[in-house]
Structures are given as structure tokens and as C-alpha cells.
Amino acid sequence: NVVALTNLGNGLIGTGAPGEAISVLERAVVLDQRSALAHFGLANAHDELANENPEDGHLEIAESHYLQALEINPDYFAAQLNLGIVLKMMTRFDSAEACFRRALELRPGEVECMINLAEILVDQDKYEEAMDMYRSMSSSPERLNIIRRLAHLWQEKGEFEKAREVVEELRLKDPQSGIVFTVLSSDRSHHFTEEEVVHAEQLSDDPSVDYAERLSIKFALARYLDTIGDYD
């Protein structure tokens, strides 16, 4: 029963046993080589194992099965997206970009896909197109995380002025956001006023602020105070 085997394999992946899932899903593929779902599940299992053992060839096997799933069903959005992510991990940026663009044709406005495409554009130094992509997501519920990610990407590229530009946009939209502090604290050339540091401290202790954001602010405060020599 190919459907049962495929579901069992997916369940094993979901419970953190991708190695066990592979033998089950391989059996499903042997029984029905035209099952896009079985190929997709097998690709996912190898993709999961690649996170633990990136040098063991799992990414290449995952790529092969995502491609087979797409050959069977060219409109398989999840396979297209996941293939792009695998190619991105393999630093094959041109091919990954094409995958994400195709995925967006299948499902316009999909935030995860847009984020991955924007990151690929940054990796290829297509800064302005990446900036436009992130700005187009400004109404997303993930807006703040998207802005943070964009700013950090600019910083990783050494584009601190571009990072500040993003943060200034955020400051105008949400002046109380702790993300302004967490992003700029990564820039060792940036100096905060005493009022800004106090505000960050207040946000880090404010129970109405999201817990994860408070942790990020505390970490950023520690990093900044270390930078200026306030070790205590």
C-alpha cells in the first residue's frame, strides 16, 4: 500500500527518525515510481539527514527526488520550494533563484518563498532587487522578522549603511521596536545615546513584549555594553 507507506515515512520524519523513514519511502517509490508524494517524502527524509551530515551526499539525493516529484507533477509547490532550499544550501544560487521564482508563480505572495528568494538575491549581490522584495512583504505578519533578517543580511555583507537604512524605515513605522536596538548593536561603529540604552533595558524587562524579543534585546544589550567596555 503505497499511500500507507508514504504516510508512515512522513510520520517517521515528523517524529525525528528520517533514517528509518528512508527505507519505508524507498519501498513506496519502488512500488510506484510515479508517486510524486513518495518521491517528495523521500527527498524530505534525505534533506533532514543533510542537516546532521551535510557531507554524506544527502542533499544530492534529496535534489534528485524533488526533481522526480516535479517531473511527475510540475505544479507541486512544496517540492519546488524545498528544491530551491536544497540548491541554496548547495550554493547553486542561480538554480535556487529559478526554483523560488517558479514557486512564486505557483503561489504568489508566499512569504517563506519570498524570504528565500530575497536571501538568494543578497547572496548574488542583487541588493536593490532584494530590498524591493523585502519591502513588498511589509504588510506580512512576519514584517518585523523580515526587517530584522534583511538588516542582518546587509551587515553580514558589510553593508552597514544599507542595514541602517532598513532600521530607519522600521524606526519610522515602529519607533518602540526593540529590533532597532538588536540590529544596530551588531554594528560596532554605532553608538547609542543613554536614552536609547535605557529604553532598550525597559523593553527587555517589559512583560508585554514578546518573550523571544526580550531575550534578543538582553543579548544585544550585553553585546553593546561589552563593546563599549561596560563589563559589569
pLDDT in tens, the chain (232 residues): 999 999 999 999 999 999 999 999 999 999 999 999 999 999 999 999 998 877 789 999 999 999 999 999 999 999 999 999 999 999 999 999 999 999 999 999 898 899 899 889 988 888 788 878 877 876 666 666 677 777 777 777 777 787 788 777 777 777 667 777 877 787 777 788 888 889 899 989 999 887 878 888 899 899 999 988 999 9
Q: How many CB atoms lie within 10 A of CB 89?
A: 16
Q: What is the pLDDT of residue 164?
A: 80
CB 117 within 8 A of CB 101: yes
Q: What is the pTM of this model?
A: 0.73
Residue with cell 527518525: 17
Q: What is the pLDDT of residue 222?
A: 92
Q: What is the pLDDT of residue 15?
A: 96
Q: What is the pLDDT of residue 12?
A: 97
Euclidean distance between CA atoms 107 and 67, whole angstroms: 18
Q: What is the pLDDT of residue 138?
A: 64
Q: What is the pLDDT of residue 35?
A: 97
Q: What is the pLDDT of residue 232?
A: 92
Q: What is the pLDDT of residue 30?
A: 97
Residues 115, 171, 138, 210, Cα dihedral to 10°: 70
Residue with cell 544599507: 162
CB 182 within 8 A of CB 155: no
CB 184 within 8 A of CB 216: no
